[in-house]
Amino acid sequence: MFIGRSRGIPSSEITDERLYRAFMGRRGFLKTAAGFGAALSLGRWSDAHGDNTLAEGAFGRVTKSPLSTNEPATSFDDITGYNNYYEFSTDKEAPALLAKNFQARPWTVAVEGDVTTPGVYDVDELIKSFTLEERVYRLRCVEAWSMVIPWIGFPLRDLLQRIQPTSKARYVEFTAPHDPKRFPGQRKPVLQWPYREGLRLDEAMHPLTILAVGLYGKILPNQNGAPIRLVVPWKYGFKSIKAITAIRLVATQPTTTWAAYSPDEYGFYANVNPAVDHPRWSQERERRIGDFLKRKTLPFNGYADQVAGLYSGMDLSVNF
């Protein structure tokens, strides 16, 4: 039976369709496009996968994860065309263009500090040595917009267990490159380069925390932080540092880029928290990209059941 296409499918959906076809072969799918500005509902990514599939030859077997959300994923075009990546530009649509010719490979990741087995790894060797999973996570930007992104990656804890932090290690510090030739946004001193982020060791060891190397089954696009980035879904997006070159285990809380830039606006923890406003805007609500009306922001971005325990006894309005 031939099922006619619904009218007015925006071009943004067409790429998705091709993508879905690439993965799903002949299996059909149904989409609805409801009015201008309305939410577009995509088939569940994890459903689309069915069993474990070979993702366009990019990765080997990618397993589904029970930690994924069932919410419809944001379109590939929106995820790759609208994001913050100040190393390229402060404009959210510019990174897609400016990162086009960025060479994300060869790339090395240094593992150093208070670890038993420090070393410098080729990123592809590193990726090959871990079991990749698909994690469909909500992403909440501190600017009050959000997406649902089907990441491909592996738990950071897998890496940490392998390199064995010493008893001195309490925090993990991540560093991105400082190279204005490759990152045109770094020619302006908008932030203190290089970009630095950090997690407490227990946050880094949490099963939800991953190093992402792909999305929508593809190798991580340059503008999304290729070749390897952090994803911490219960924290504001800026914690999830892109293009990591160094992972350092340290004893004291590291200085992080946004907290250093404006400590009263961006904290070290940066847990998604509707009860703590950004000084200049409310964090109570967020606009899911593709939706018209804003929705309520959930504590810890909806991951409170899994992560609230990490912060028991802490005053989250002080440690924001």
Partner 1 sequence: MDAAASAPRFAPRITHRLPFVVGCLPLLWLLIDAFTGGLGANPINRVIRSTGWWALALLVLTLGLAPAGRLLRWEGALVWRRACGLFSFFYACLHTAAYAGLDQALSIPDITADVIKRPHVTVGLLSFALMTPPAATSFGWAALRLGERRWQQVHQLVYPAAALGVVHYILSVKVDTGAPFVFAVILTALLALRLWYLLPTRNRRLPKSDEPSARSTTR
Tokens (6 digits) for 131: 């079991």
Helix (H) or strand (E) run with residue 150 in it: strand 145-155
Closest distance to partner 1 from the beta carbon of 223 (Å) = 13
For partner 1, the binding residues in 83-112 under the rule CB under 8 A are: 86, 90, 92-93
Stretch that binds partner 1, among 60-68, 174-182, 186-194, 211-219 (CB under 8 A): 186-194
Closest distance to partner 1 from the beta carbon of 261 (Å) = 7
Q: Is 280 in the site for partner 1 (CB under 8 A)?
A: yes
Q: Is 35 in the site for partner 1 (CB under 8 A)?
A: no
Among 277, 309, 317, 319, binds partner 1 (CB under 8 A): 277
Q: Would you list the DSSP string of 84-147?
A: -BTTTBSSSSHHHHHTTT----S-EEEEEESBSS-EEEEHHHHHHTS--EEEEEEEE-TTSEEE
Task: Report the largest interatomic distance among the alpha carbons of the chain, rounded to a whole angstrom.
Answer: 65
- Answer whether 228's CB lies under 8 Å from 158's CB: no
Question: Helix H segments across the chain?
Answer: 11-24, 45-49, 76-81, 94-98, 123-128, 156-163, 201-204, 257-261, 304-307
Q: Is 78 in the site for partner 1 (CB under 8 A)?
A: yes
Q: Is 191 in the site for partner 1 (CB under 8 A)?
A: yes
Strand partners, 134: 64, 152
For partner 1, the binding residues in 201-260 under the rule CB under 8 A are: none
Q: First-to-last CA distance in the chain? A: 55
Q: Is 180 in the site for partner 1 (CB under 8 A)?
A: no
Q: Is 294 in the site for partner 1 (CB under 8 A)?
A: yes
Stretch that binds partner 1, among 4-12, 22-30, 242-250, 305-313 (CB under 8 A): 4-12
Positions in the binding site for partner 1 (CB under 8 A): 10-12, 36-37, 77-78, 81-82, 86, 90, 92-93, 143, 145, 188, 190-191, 261, 277, 280-282, 287, 289-290, 292-294
